[in-house]
Amino acid sequence: MSDLLDWSAASVPGGDKRPPGEILGDVFGFSAFRPGQEEIVGAVTAGEEVLAVMPTGGGKSLCYQLPALMRPGVTIVVSPLIALMRDQVSALKALGIAAAALNSGNDYEENRRTLERARSGELKLLYISPERLSSVEMIERLRDAPLAMLAVDEAHCVSQWGHDFRPEYRLIGEVRRDLGIKQTVAFTATADRITREDIAERLFVKAPKVFLRSFDRPNISLAMTARQDGRAQLLAFLKAHQGESGVVYCQSRRRVDETAAFLASRGFNAVPYHAGLERTERDHNQDVFLREDGVIVVATVAFGMGVDKPDVRFVFHMDLPKNIEGYYQEIGRAGRDGLPATSHTLYGFGEIRQFRQWIEESEASEEQKEIERQKVNALVALCEAPRCRRVVLLDYFGEASEPCGNCDLCLGGVETFDGTVLAQKALSAVVRTRERFGMDHLITVLRGEASDKVKTHGHDALPTFGVGKDQSRTAWRSIFRQLGVIGYATPDRERFNAWRMTEAGWRVLKGQETVMLRKDALSLKDKTPKSGQPLPTDYDPKLLDALKALRRTLADERDVPAYVVFSDRTLMELASRKPETLDEMRGVHGIGERKLKDFGPTFLEAIRAYLAG
């Protein structure tokens, strides 16, 4: 990627002395911090060791970029992927910040110059891969550079517990000691406790200050539907999302190829992406997706990591992801700009059976298998959620929340009915068998099947025996899972998943609480979802088109993705406020001093020309 613009204005060699809130507006062009950013920026600026866990799209980069501007010297940013570095560096340059990357994609001379700029203190941010950073040569050359701090991006790569372990990350701690860097700050979107502890131990000398951001991404609407005719469901979905950029995930390469070809035959601008394609074709398709508006990429899970496109408007799953972590990560690729985005997932019981079979057939230890089984159960429970899907999702990540108003359950797209009597039957089976049995046996009792186990325990003599004959085994499984999700009873992992009652469950048995369960036949209703953030709605659509075309030209001239020039939100605000002077442009979302200078006049001219007719 070429030098978009040369650095200068925003980089003050000794460190920018303005308060963070001012730099945020003047340099980055943002009117407010996103949740959590301010506290983290404060801690980083105060020199603390920080480990921040923020969901994808939460705005992690700003948390080290902004403090890096405030101090003398260069901040080293360790990042695992060249593509990721490239995007970040070109975005920073567009803001007028002295940033560069050292990587194998650059030629020798370019890298040499970059190192010189780091050593002279002229650079503020230096992006580098862990392999390169830990080479003996690099350490020698950086030794006398004015190093301000070490920022580690995608820090979960340091841990074997994480989903993306990279042995090179293990060397970072040592490099830090060798270079005598005083402060390390680390960022990740992976939440679980074990990974977090592992990161803390491997990257830091003493325990870092940990920041845990909510995993909620309220601007992404959630929906999951049982698969009937996948292609028809996909087409119906796309019809409501014409002209938007999005990702359609499929489970296998073959499904990707078939689906992409199918969409292309229906006139969609769709490209395939999976690890089986030639490298050049894959890169080309990814590039088309990044640069052009309204492209659909049909992909396996190989697609996504390091794709930092903020304006992906939807994610559609043709197939169910393998677990909730994967689901969350994939839908999280939508709406990173904070604007309304849509996720829609199809699921079928065939694939769930398949997941279960893979687990049983795998070579994993029994302990590992049990973890995997639990994960599948949690996933199925999310599919069948009888109440706000987001509450169920966040609960899985250990976060309590209120019904969101932006999922299929909240919007009434899923039919529920009064299932109190069914719930009472299920719960009484739990109680009568003294909370000592798993779901399968409980269902056997409910359905009045005289198995050996039933006879051995004398459960055929219980009053509950056979009271659930009217429901199939499959239906009862769903009922149990739903009761588990709502929290009326839970399988106890410590006791071979024997179901235990909760206080809420006892209230149901005593008739003090009504239980709403969902019907399995889903009927989707068409309602407009509430959005996460208010967007200008009073913009002039023709002007917006004109501004988008201008953005396209400017981005092409500079060989960068469109959003590096201005985001969609910025253009919408411009098309709504219609500023006539540079001064009036100040304060529009995404327009800081640098962009005001670089692009302000051109956009003003375009707005003026448009208004003049």
Listed in sequence order, the residues at least 6 apart from 367 whose beta carbon sits closer than 8 Å to its beta carbon are none
What residue ranges in 216-340 does DSSP mark as E strands? 220-221, 224-226, 246-249, 270-273, 296-299, 314-317
Q: For ligand ADP, which residue of 15, 230, 306, 310 counts as binding (CB under 6 A)?
A: 310
- Give CA–CA dist 296/422, Å, rounded: 44
Q: Name the residue nearer to ligand ADP (CB basis): 196 or 375.
A: 196
Picking from 530, 528, 542, 552, the residue whose alpha carbon sits closest to that of residue 576 is 542
Q: Name the residue nearer to ligand ADP (CB basis): 58 or 173.
A: 58
- Least Å distance, CB 390 to Zn ion, is 5
Residue 76 DSSP class: E
Contact 105, 149 (CB under 8 A): no
- Give CA–CA dist 123/97, Å, rounded: 8
For residue 33, the partner it binds in Zn ion, ligand ADP, none, with Cβ less than 5 to 8 A by kind, is ligand ADP
- Least Å distance, CB 27 to ligand ADP, is 12
- Least Å distance, CB 77 to ligand ADP, is 12
Q: For ligand ADP, which residue of 308, 319, 573, 598 counts as binding (CB under 6 A)?
A: 308
For residue 561, the partner it binds in Zn ion, ligand ADP, none, with Cβ less than 5 to 8 A by kind, is none
Among the residue ranges 52-60, 138-146, 287-295, 379-387, the one whose residues contact ligand ADP (CB under 6 A)? 52-60
Listed in sequence order, the residues at least 6 apart from 117 whose beta carbon sits closer than 8 Å to its beta carbon are 98, 100, 123
Residue 592 contacts ligand ADP per CB under 6 A: no
- Give CA–CA dist 433/24, Å, rounded: 61
Residue 336 contacts ligand ADP per CB under 6 A: yes
Among the residue ranges 50-58, 102-110, 156-164, 366-374, the one whose residues contact ligand ADP (CB under 6 A)? 50-58
Q: For ligand ADP, which residue of 4, 50, 52, 61 counts as binding (CB under 6 A)?
A: 61
- Least Å distance, CB 301 to ligand ADP, is 17
Q: For ligand ADP, which residue of 30, 127, 268, 539 counts as binding (CB under 6 A)?
A: 30
Residue 219 contacts ligand ADP per CB under 6 A: no
Q: For Zn ion, which residue of 404, 454, 517, 596 counts as binding (CB under 5 A)?
A: 404
Among the residue ranges 49-57, 142-150, 347-355, 448-456, the one whose residues contact ligand ADP (CB under 6 A)? 49-57
The number of CA neighbours under 13 Å toward the Cβ of 175 is 30
Q: Name the residue nearer to ligand ADP (CB basis): 304 or 484.
A: 304
Q: What token pair was written down for 33?
A: 């911090």
Among the residue ranges 27-35, 74-82, 322-330, 484-492, the one whose residues contact ligand ADP (CB under 6 A)? 27-35
- Give CA–CA dist 63/611, Å, rounded: 39
Among the residue ranges 37-45, 366-374, 382-390, 563-571, the one whose residues contact Zn ion (CB under 5 A)? 382-390
Q: For Zn ion, which residue of 407, 442, 479, 564 counts as binding (CB under 5 A)?
A: 407
Residue 33 contacts ligand ADP per CB under 6 A: yes
Listed in sequence order, the residues at least 6 apart from 62 whose beta carbon sits closer than 8 Å to its beta carbon are 24, 28, 30, 34, 37, 41
For residue 404, the partner it binds in ligand ADP, Zn ion, none, with Cβ less than 5 to 8 A by kind, is Zn ion
Listed in sequence order, the residues at least 6 apart from 276 whose beta carbon sits closer than 8 Å to its beta carbon are 253
Q: Tell me, letter by letter, the H, E, C secondary structure of 174-225.
A: HHHHHHCCCCEEEEECCCCHHHHHHHHHHHCCCCCEEEECCCCCCCEEECEE
Among the residue ranges 406-414, 416-424, 446-454, 474-482, the one whose residues contact Zn ion (CB under 5 A)? 406-414
Residue 172 DSSP class: H
For residue 62, the partner it binds in Zn ion, ligand ADP, none, with Cβ less than 5 to 8 A by kind, is ligand ADP
In sequence order, what are the beta bridge partners of 222? 407
What is the contact surface with Zn ion in residues (CB under 5 A)? 388, 390, 404, 407, 410
